[in-house]
Amino acid sequence: MHLFDQTTALKRTSGEAPEVRFEGRASEHFKNMIGPYGGWSAAILAKGLIEAAGPEMELVSITTDFLAGAREGPIALDVVCDRGGKNTQFWNASLTAQGDKNPSNRAMGILSRRRETVAWTEGQRPDAPAPEDCDRANLPMAWSRTVEMRPTRSPPFAKGDGRTDSLAWIRLDPARPLDAVALVALADTPTPRLFHVTGEFGMVATVSMTVYLHAGPEDYAAVGTDYMLIETHAARGGRGFYDQHARIWSRDGRLLATTQQIVWYKTTNEE
């Protein structure tokens, strides 16, 4: 079993929809600066939502709030359906580390029985060298050994003279077929935009991240274990917070997901 699947494994311990409880474990393999890598936290919450809703429902979007860093060890995942219509359901989930009274993470998810409709994509995948021609970024965090990132423009800590846009090829390592849970995890791959502004490391923490999933079964099958290209930028930072926006493309130009974050930081002009 792939390490990603091992670390996002859930065991249903009680309840049926609309209220379900799962148990899992926060792993040292996805450790970040403060608690687990945010993509892992969002992914395990997404998995709980998907498993509770059932196989007919697809995850359309998930917003994850990062209240605190979960400690390594056992966790509980409580999932509740707030409203379930014929084709669209609204769920929430919370992740609580063993021994804690308050959750470390919470999420709101929208799931749907999706149907064929008029379709379009605005814009196109940016031009970039092939991932095989790009060097892998070596980051000091444990999660970067399982999440592979190959920058094609503006590598981490490359000061951009006020610009924060970057491109990078991403995938899980070892390679694993893409699905919704992995796509949510990879949405948190971009290095903090603050690093591109200052050219230096600084303490940051994602406060909230939303992922909109556009990919369907055909897209997941087409990508398989291949690299995806993530383009990222921030519109503005100041007074302790900045935004971050990204789009994830397949190599053949399919828009798979869009995502946005609000991120806390404390770097000042005097530092």
Read off the pLDDT of residues 196-218 as tens digits, 9 standing for 90 and up.
Answer: 899 888 899 999 999 999 999 99
Q: How many domains does the chain have?
A: 2
Give the pLDDT of residue 162. 66
Give the pLDDT of residue 269. 83
User: Which range of residues forms the domain containing residue 36?
Assistant: 3-112
Query: Does the residue 135 lie in any domain?
Result: no
Beta-carbon neighbour count of residue 100 at 10 Å? 14
CB 146 within 8 A of CB 32: no
Give the pLDDT of residue 33. 77
Q: Are residues 168 and 65 in the same domain?
A: no
Q: Are residues 151 and 259 in the same domain?
A: yes
The secondary structure of residue 35, as a DSSP letter, is S
Domain holding 69: CATH number? Answer: 3.10.129.10
Query: Does the residue 126 lie in any domain?
Result: no
Q: Are residues 146 and 261 in the same domain?
A: yes
Each of the 271 residues of the chain gets a pLDDT tens digit; together they read 999 999 999 999 999 889 999 999 999 899 887 789 999 999 999 999 999 999 999 999 999 999 998 989 999 999 999 999 889 999 999 999 999 999 999 999 999 999 999 999 999 999 999 999 999 998 888 899 999 999 998 877 777 666 899 999 999 999 999 999 999 999 999 999 999 899 888 899 999 999 999 999 999 999 999 999 999 999 999 999 999 999 999 999 999 999 999 999 999 987 5
Tokens 């979007």 sit at which residue? Answer: 61
SS3 (DSSP) at 144: helix
Task: Tell me, yes or no, if the pTM score tops 0.85.
Answer: yes
Tokens 């939303």 sit at which residue? Answer: 210
Give the pLDDT of residue 11. 98
Q: Are residues 107 and 163 in the same domain?
A: no
Query: Does the residue 46 lie in any domain?
Result: yes
